[in-house]
């Protein structure tokens, strides 16, 4: 069955908007795990606009105590700065089960594209090796329809399909081409020995259709939509709703 990793970035956004410690990111992550989520994802950015250095370390401890996956996302090329030691340094401190490399710039509101593996592969290769030395499984953010086979040459274990275009097409009522691109990329990745993750704008509305068409999906990382839905139904009920979709896929 495809597993669910809940991204709790948006909990930190709400906390940071007011200052202080409420809502508590670790408490929210614990509630998601209590409801059956298989892991926790965070994507700390250098400007600390949501998840902070301390959150990463605290969530790492929680996931280790629970025996679940901690998935740490970030741009390995972003330089260190005050409050942000750099992605590899964070991984060295937190030792996530999975490190997901994402080519996002400081100014991006959210991740919106994958790596160009033919261009970036040589630079990614030593970073993948360094993360393997830390005991991390390595996933690389990838555009559906791109040359995902080239990701295998970096030594990575998985790709994460960027599903934003699919979600946008689904909302517009015309997702066939986007689904076909995702399915094609998942098939090529699997044939190249890569595992397949997926994430970005997946929701209860579109997740079932995605999994019904796209093969080999080991894990979905869902944050924005899940937290949105949880404002009305609660975290426990919302996580359980996603798990029912995954179980029925």
Which residues are catalytic, by number?
Answer: 43, 73, 200
Q: How many CB atoms lie within 10 A of CB 210?
A: 26
Q: How many CB atoms lie within 10 A of CB 24?
A: 16
CB burial of residue 240 (10 Å; 0-12, 13-18, 19+): middle
Nearest by Cα to 8 from 27, 18, 163 = 27
| Preceding amide of 192 cis, omega within 30 | no
Q: In the numeric block, which tokens belong to residue 90?
A: 């964070």
SS3 at position 155: coil
């Amino acid at each position: 069955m495809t597993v669910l990793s809940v991204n709790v970035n948006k909990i930190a956004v709400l906390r940071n908007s007011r200052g202080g410690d409420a809502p508590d990111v670790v408490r929210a992550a614990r509630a998601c795990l209590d409801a059956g989520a298989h892991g926790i994802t965070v994507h700390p950015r250098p400007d600390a606009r949501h998840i902070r250095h301390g959150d990463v370390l605290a969530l790492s401890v929680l996931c280790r105590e629970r025996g679940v996956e901690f998935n740490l996302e970030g741009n390995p090329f972003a330089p260190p700065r005050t409050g942000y030691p750099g992605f590899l340094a964070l991984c060295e401190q937190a030792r996530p089960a999975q490190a997901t490399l994402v080519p996002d710039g400081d100014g991006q509101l959210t991740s919106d594209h994958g790596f160009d593996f033919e261009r970036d592969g040589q630079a990614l290769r030593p970073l993948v090796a360094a993360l393997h030395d830390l005991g991390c499984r390595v996933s690389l953010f990838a555009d559906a329809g791109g040359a995902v086979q080239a990701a295998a040459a970096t030594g990575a274990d998985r790709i994460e399909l960027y599903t934003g275009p699919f979600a946008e097409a689904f909302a517009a009522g015309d997702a066939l081409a986007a689904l076909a691109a995702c399915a094609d990329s998942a098939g090529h990745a699997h044939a190249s020995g890569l595992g397949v993750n997926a994430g970005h704008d997946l929701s209860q509305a579109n997740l079932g259709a995605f999994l019904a068409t796209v093969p080999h999906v080991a894990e979905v990382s869902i944050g924005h939509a899940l937290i949105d839905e949880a404002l009305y139904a609660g975290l426990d009920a919302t996580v359980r709703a996603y798990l029912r979709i995954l179980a029925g896929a």
